[in-house]
Structure 1
Amino acid sequence: MVSKSPKKANLLDLHSIKNLLDESASEIVKSRGYVEDVRLSNVRLFLGTIIIIIALFAQFYKKKFPENRDFLIGCIVLYPYVVFNALLQLIIFTKEKNAILFTYPPAGSYVGTGLIVSSKLPRFSDMYTLTIASADPKSISANEPVHLTKSVTQWFTKDGVLVEGLFWKDVEALIDQYAKEPKKGK
């Protein structure tokens, strides 16, 4: 369960701490039989590629600036550049939020939805919140979201090494808590 090389974070850098905890939480969820759902990431990559292609056309258009002014205006205002950027931001704002992992349901399970695992580590705080929720909250098999909020000092040594056994135990308990939650009433 626990990897052999210790995972270390810079304790003065919240992004380093959050990134390490997020990666470890994702590993733990996947080890429980959940397969990562990358469809939303693929959509984001596709939209980003289109945005880059439009920007490249605008940058390397065969005419220089004063002559290509109408083409640049068309790329930015009238054509898909703004639309695709807005769509990308909408996806990030509405679907992703603080999500670190989207999953399919475990193979062979009766549960019809995957999970959304999300996390928060507020600026200037040591309180890390991990949330597990259903990927389809309106589904009949969706459980109520469960949360774990704990100080990151509980999982790291003073040298910044993650005590994986403790973190693993807490995340597995959260997954078990989500699986045992009573189903929503109709």
Structure 2
Amino acid sequence: MATKGQKKANLLDHHSIKHILDESASEVITGRGYVEDVKLSNIRLLLGSVIIVIALFAQFYKKKFPENRDFLLACIALYVVFNLVLQLIIYTKEKNAILFTYPLTGSFTSTGLVVSSKLPRFSDMYTLTIESADPKSVSANEPVHLTKSVTQWFTKDGVLVEGLFWKEVEALIAQYTKEPKKSK
């Protein structure tokens, strides 16, 4: 039985498991001092709002159908274009990302983190990846990955054993932030 502070997942639903693990990973990373960068989310919300406004204009335009044909065609074209832009942003920029961050305050790196995760359908292998928000930057480190079975972190009742999972995520952050060895 899960108490109020525990996170419980439906073990038969991989979306539920992934959601709890993603939420916990985000908590660990923001708890380490990283501030979430919500620019991309705000852009997506703005594009979604524009798409809704276009649909509302098309629906409630004052003239009836034969007279508003050109206006409706323009609204349909704009609707399709803005939806394509939104999907392009999601496909190219967001991918499997669960968290974008700014660089740590006072650090020498000039890039934040992109934290992404995967939990394939019908699989128990959860992959958490931490990489630089700008991989071409001089201060970008190599991406690090953690792949383990979700059975390592959940009880048979579906309660997340946060201490075990948090240690794994903190070790992954430490692995990412360590200085690369200099060759002589």
TM-score range, shorter chain: over 0.9
Secondary structure, aligned partner of 2:84: helix
Shift of 1:93: 0.5
The whole-number CA distance in structure 2 between the counterparts of 1:81 and 1:168 is 43
Q: Unmatched 5+ residue regions in structure 2?
A: none
Shift of 1:86: 1.2
Matched letter for residue 34 of structure 2: Y
Shift of 1:84: 1.4
CA deviations 1:36-72 (Å, max 9, x no partner) are 0001111111111111100000011112334333221
Shift of 1:130: 0.2
Matched letter for residue 164 of structure 2: L
Residue among 150, 163, 166 paired with 1:165? 163
Contact 1:144 1:181 in 2 (8 A): no
TM-score of the aligned structures, taking structure 1 as reference length: 0.92
Matched letter for residue 112 of structure 2: G
Q: Which residue of 2 aligns with 1:121?
A: 119
The size of the alignment, in residue pairs, is 181
Contact 1:144 1:183 in 2 (8 A): no
Matched letter for residue 45 of structure 1: L
Matched letter for residue 105 of structure 2: A
TM-score of the aligned structures, taking structure 2 as reference length: 0.93
Q: Is residue 140 of structure 1 aligned with residue 138 of structure 2? A: yes
Shift of 1:98: 0.1
Secondary structure, aligned partner of 1:33: coil
Assess, with a 3 A threshold, how the Cα gap between structure 1 residues 72 and 184 changes in structure 2: closer, same or farther. farther
Secondary structure, aligned partner of 1:94: helix
Shift of 1:100: 0.2
The whole-number CA distance in structure 1 between the counterparts of 2:181 and 2:57 is 52
